[in-house]
Amino acid sequence: MKLKPLNDHVIVKAINESEITKFGIVLPDTIDKEKPEKGEVVAIGSGKLLDNGQRALMSVKVGDKVMFKKYSPDEIKIDGEEYLIISESDILAVME
């Protein structure tokens, strides 16, 4: 199924990074850990509708790795895959 977000919404696939201790032990992600704050953009909306009837350009594009506010995304599950829907204003930075 293909997802097309509306307006200034962005669909993100969370990046869950395992922690590695200084001794090389990998600590896998568990349910106890915090919500993700990083992800890869998989789809973007057409932009926020401005008062003059035009659309604002989106500041992210598909493939960008982004950091976002921890508790802002809505979680959805499509075809067994988990995605996050975020408003563009909740994206804090693009990681380069």
- Output the pTM of the full model: 0.76
- Torsions phi, psi for 90 (to 5 deg): -90, -5
| C-alpha 27: how far from chain center | 23
Task: Give the C-alpha separation, 77 to 57, whole Å.
Answer: 27
C-alpha distance from residue 70 to each of 1, 2, 34, 79 (Å): 26, 25, 8, 24
Kindly list the domain boundaries of the chain, sorted by start residue.
Answer: 9-95
Helix (H, G, I), strand (E, B) or coil at 89: helix
| Interval 3-57: pLDDT, tens | 899 999 999 998 866 555 566 666 665 544 556 689 999 999 999 999 999 999 9
CATH of domain 9-95: 2.30.33.40
Task: Give the C-alpha separation, 26 to 49, whole Å.
Answer: 45
